[in-house]
Structure 1
Amino acid sequence: MSTENTAPYITDEAHGTNWSMLLGDSCERLAELPDNSIDLSVCSPPFDSLYTYSPSVRDLGNSPSRVAFLDHYRYIVEHQLRVTKPGRNACIHVQQIATKKAVDGHIGLTDFRGDVIRLFQSVGWVFFGEVTIWKDPQAQSIRTKSQQLAFASKNRDSMRIRPALADYLLIFKKPGDNEVKVPHDVLEGEVTNDDWIDWASPVWDDVHDGGWLTEDGNLCPVWHGIRESDTLNARAGRDQADERHIAPLQLGFIDRCVRLWSNPGELVLTPFGGIGSELYQSVKRGRRAIGIELKPSYWRAAVDNLTTLELELSAPSLFDEG
């Protein structure tokens, strides 16, 4: 018997000096946040039904169709718009989704990235920019066991192969004037001109000398330097056999978003808290953070990660005066 309709719905919350982690459904718990209270949101929503995160029917990852997923996700996107301050950003991490022959009748791709963009625009967000995150094709082939990346497929029939799937950062802005500037000049701020040269291209030249160039000599819109292994420990968040996947967002990805589009002391939101990566990196960078997570085991792991970080940040260093 499926447990999807019998999984208990539990709410709770935990708080630290600069963070709050709410356990529950984002569709409901976001309603607790006041209007125009969030300076930046960073999150990686479930990729449609690509992964199973929990058995709950409240889980976006358990949507029976793309249409149902987008209808469900709309509630969260609307709340994000309501709670975000005018002129401020939402940073959304997505990936295109591959079809399955057994389910879709063919092997190909669906435009999940485009569907998310259109959803945000329909709610009232301004689609402000995007970045392509380079992924290692060989690492992706090993991790996903994709036949479309396999040497055997190339050698047997190259019509069966395609390039690896990139990640994308989608940047949305709430309409209105930003009342508090986020300066990054030589006297204040955390993003140097050299940082911006790399990130605005956006290419990380320290990984590939000179960056990647198009045929006409222009820099490609790709972020390098986001290490796939640069994540919090996902193992602590696993719970029984009701999931096939847990994928914490890379800390380097979060770090760039937080540094670029928020000031120290400002409030960063993630509606899909997972094991706390977005909160962790935000607090580490001197921000305040609030997250919501549906699954209790992920929520507990997030609270542990944030509690540990808080202890580390408060510990005296060798250079502190006695």
Structure 2
Amino acid sequence: MTNEDAYIEDEASGASWRFLLGDSAQRMPEIEAESVHLSVYSPPFQSLYTYSASPRDMGNSLGWDDFFEQYAYIIRENLRITVPGGHACVHVQDVAYMKGRDGRTGLKDFSGAVIAEYEKAGWEFEARVTVDKDPQAQAIRTKAHHLMFVTKNKDSSKSSPAMPDYMLIFKKAGDRAVPVKTDVSNEEWIEWARPIWYGIRESNTLNARIARQADDERHLTPLQLDFIERCVRLWTNPGELVFTAFGGVGSELYVAVENGRRALGIELKASYWKTGCEYLAQLEVQASQPRFDIA
């Protein structure tokens, strides 16, 4: 474990945001009950990605059961802090078996397991949206043999489609005390009401300015800003509180503040948290600058 992965807690805040450094399991109990209107986040996909060497990092769980035992606590706390009628939007992928590690190929139904844990905790499962993916871009990025032309041409029985992302939508029982008066236009809703979301730009992320560290398995991949914006605009009013338990570099907080909401997040890794704080501070400076319309 490096100094970067030693457990520390800290906090930074601005006019409409608060970003906590620490373990979500330890810091979520600090959050007031029924104070969050919407949660948006992407959890660690069991052992698919490793973000740090910390034993507190859920990506370093001992296995499937250990991961969901830890994650179930986050889900229950998320329910406690959410207002009646509030939503949680969870970005997930299914997890591929690896022949060398697991002795088989195929997919683990990670999305289905997340749904089961949310329902067990008392959430209502509202919908699953499939997020379209570019198979050629995925093939280039992941080197997945099942997507390659050479595999299709040699033995198409080993070919299979690209892995989509999913947005799982959960709701806390009850009605919102204040109805959501969305600014989403009818034309936007025609597109966003589809069971498949098109037009989510994979490159539209907060560009994490973090050099890859020796014990990080992969580069950081923040959640797409388009994805977050749709959730924020559909399920919150201006001034309401958006929360993320896995803050990363602050993407969910950034989009919430940019759209006139308040934001609260927690992140375990200090370098990600510091970068997120910088982004949020820059956003506040930009928002304070006068704008001039030139006729």
TM-score (norm 2): 0.97
- Which position in structure 1 is the counterpart of 2:42? 44
In structure 2, the CA distance between the partners of 1:153 and 1:300, relative to structure 1 (3 Å rule), is same
Q: Deviations over 1:145-181 (max 9, x none)?
A: 1111111111111111110000000000011221110
- Match 2:59 to one of 58, 61, 82: 61
Q: Give every structure 1 segment of 4 or more consecutive aligned residues whose post-TM-superposition deviation is greater than 3 Å.
A: 4-7
Confirm or deny: 8 A CA contact 2:5 2:269 kept in the other structure: no
Distance 1:239 1:66 in 2: 27
Confirm or deny: 8 A CA contact 2:5 2:52 kept in the other structure: no
Q: Structure 1 residue 290 and structure 2 residue 264: aligned?
A: yes
Confirm or deny: 8 A CA contact 1:237 1:275 kept in the other structure: no
Q: How many residues align?
A: 293
- Which position in structure 2 is the counterpart of 1:174? 172
- Match 2:221 to one of 235, 247, 252: 247
**Match runs of 1:221-300 below 5 Å:** 221-234=195-208, 236-238=209-211, 240-245=213-218, 246-300=220-274
Distance 1:292 1:110 in 2: 28
Q: Deviations over 1:231-290 (max 9, x none)?
A: 0012x1345211122110000000000000000000000000000000000000000000
- Match 1:197 to one of 182, 185, 190: 190
Distance 2:217 2:47 in 1: 12
Identical aligned pairs, as a percentage? 54
Confirm or deny: 8 A CA contact 2:4 2:271 kept in the other structure: no
Distance 2:222 2:213 in 1: 18
Distance 1:229 1:58 in 2: 29
**Match runs of 1:1-322 below 5 Å:** 3=1, 7-183=5-181, 189-200=182-193, 202=194, 221-234=195-208, 236-238=209-211, 240-245=213-218, 246-319=220-293
Secondary structure of 2:53's counterpart equals coil
Cα offset, 1:319, TM superposition:
3.9
Confirm or deny: 8 A CA contact 1:238 1:297 kept in the other structure: no
Unaligned runs of 5+ in 1: 184-188, 203-220
Secondary structure of 1:139's counterpart equals helix
C-alpha RMSD over aligned residues: 1.5
Cα offset, 1:109, TM superposition:
0.5
Cα offset, 1:74, TM superposition:
0.8
The amino acid of 2:131's aligned partner reads I
Q: Deviations over 1:156-207 (max 9, x none)?
A: 1111111000000000001122111002xxxxx310111111111x1xxxxx
Unaligned runs of 5+ in 2: none
Distance 1:237 1:293 in 2: 15
Secondary structure of 1:47's counterpart equals coil
Confirm or deny: 8 A CA contact 1:239 1:297 kept in the other structure: no
Distance 2:169 2:212 in 1: 32
Cα offset, 1:107, TM superposition:
1.2
Distance 1:45 1:100 in 2: 20
Distance 1:104 1:51 in 2: 16
In structure 2, the CA distance between the partners of 1:52 and 1:135, relative to structure 1 (3 Å rule), is same
TM-score (norm 1): 0.89
